């Protein structure tokens, strides 16, 4: 795992995974934004969030506003879900298996 999340699968699905740090969340957001062909300016225009905030968020600045993070995630159609580590590990393993063509 890189920076606490699972990178993009071979079949072209966007990055996803368990986020365990501000840096990992920022990297995941950046990967999803680029996957959707959006620039920081596009997210800024759609959300009203400042370019400075968006840049700091993607770089993993640890003290960004949670409300602003949630707004940025919504612009990309991303959700924030909370699971126990045990459940998250199990669910990610099942999802990864399904994306690879497994039968779980």
pLDDT digits (tens, 9 = 90+) for 40-85: 999 999 999 999 999 999 999 999 999 999 999 999 999 888 888 8
Q: Which CATH class is domain 22-94?
A: mainly alpha
Q: Three-class SS of residue 7?
A: coil
- The pLDDT tens digits of the residues spanning 4-39 come to 444 444 334 445 667 889 998 999 999 999 999 999
CA atoms within 13 A on the CB side of 60: 11
Per-residue tokens: 104:
């779980």
């Amino acid at each position: 795992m890189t920076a606490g999340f699972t990178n993009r699968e071979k079949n072209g699905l966007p990055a996803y995974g368990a986020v365990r740090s501000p840096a990992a969340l920022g990297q995941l957001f950046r990967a999803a934004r680029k996957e959707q062909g959006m620039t920081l300016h596009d997210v800024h225009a759609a959300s009203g969030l400042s370019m400075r905030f968006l840049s700091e968020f993607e770089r993993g600045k640890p003290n960004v506003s949670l409300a602003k993070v949630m707004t940025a995630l919504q612009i990309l159609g991303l959700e924030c879900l909370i699971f126990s580590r045990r459940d998250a590990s199990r669910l990610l393993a099942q999802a990864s298996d399904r994306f690879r063509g497994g039968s779980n």
